[in-house]
Amino acid sequence: MAILKIARMGHPVLKTPASPVKDPKSPEIKALVADMVETMDDADGTGLAAPQVHVGLRVVVFFVDQARMYDEADPDDEEKLGVPLTVMINPEIEPLSDETEADWEGCLSVPGMSGEVPRFSHIRYRFQGLDGKTHEREARGFHARVVQHECDHLDGILYPQRIVNMDRFGFTDALVQGIRKAPEEDIG
């Protein structure tokens, strides 16, 4: 495994839609995923898309910490336990409601900055795993936000492109002083 270099905003790989993966079970994809997980862990991220490590393929790794889920979830909701490390290959998102929520995001490819981004509050997503099988989940809150953020990377979109009010975008340390608390971690 290796820690990969993370592409930063402005690099062409982040502006280009990623190509579908033809064989999710290939040794090359398994090696890429292992390197992406190590890179995400090293950078203290919650998610990472392959274009962020200079690979133009539709591959995402992410997890959602239990503390993040418990704050948002109904106490009887199983999702309060968090979302374990997930590998998504060729993911697709379907909004299940027109309702959106604005919240703060950071990104490993836009270091030191944060912005308030509207996202669908309830989605269904489908993806292939490393076993080649198709999986489907529903997500709300931060879980839904992470999936949408990472899938945007696969379409050549960075979160600043989704910000509605540019007064709610800036360097995280400066925003802390004037607007809000700093994000606990960058999404990816």
Which stretches of 22-160 are DSSP H helices?
27-42, 66-72, 141-154
Residue 188 to residue 149: CA distance in whole angstroms? 8
Q: What is the pLDDT of residue 96?
A: 98
How many other CB atoms sit within 10 Å of the CB of residue 108? 24
Is residue 101 annotated as part of the catalytic site, yes or no? no
**pTM value?**
0.90
Q: Which residue positions in the chain have pLDDT lower than 70?
A: 68-80, 178-186
Residue 39 to residue 103: CA distance in whole angstroms? 25
Residue 149 to residue 109: CA distance in whole angstroms? 12
Q: What is the pLDDT of residue 77?
A: 55
Q: What is the pLDDT of residue 20?
A: 98
CB 88 within 8 A of CB 60: yes
Question: pLDDT tens, 72-118?
Answer: 545 555 556 789 999 999 999 999 999 999 999 999 999 999 999 99
Catalytic residue, from 79, 105, 116, 150: name it. Answer: 150
Q: Which residue in 156, 142, 158 sits closest to 108, CA to CA?
A: 158
Residue 144 to residue 123: CA distance in whole angstroms? 6
Q: Which fold has domain 12-178?
A: Peptide Deformylase (3.90.45)
Helix then strand then coil, in percent of the chain rounded to 5, is 35, 35, 35
Q: What is the pLDDT of residue 74?
A: 53
